[in-house]
Amino acid sequence: MIEIKIFGFGCSTCKKLKKLVDNIVRQNKLEANVEYITDFAEIAKFNIMSSPAIMIDGEIKAAGRVPTRTEIENWIHRSP
What is this structure's pTM? 0.92
Q: Band of the pLDDT at 39, cuts 50, 70, 90?
A: very high
Mean pLDDT on 5-18: 95
pLDDT of residue 77: 84
Residues 42-52 have a mean pLDDT of 93
Cα(60)–Cα(73) distance, rounded to whole angstroms?
15
Q: Where are the domains of the chain?
A: 2-78
Q: Are 52 and 8 in contact (CB under 8 A)?
A: yes
Q: Is it the case that residue 80 has pLDDT exceeding 70?
A: no
Gap between the Cα atoms of 2 and 64, Å rounded: 22
pLDDT for 78: 80
Domain 2-78 architecture: 3-Layer(aba) Sandwich (3.40)
Q: Is 13 exposed, middle or buried (0-12, 13-18, 19+ CB in 10 A)?
A: middle
What whole-number distance in Å separates Cα of residue 24 and Cα of residue 28? 6
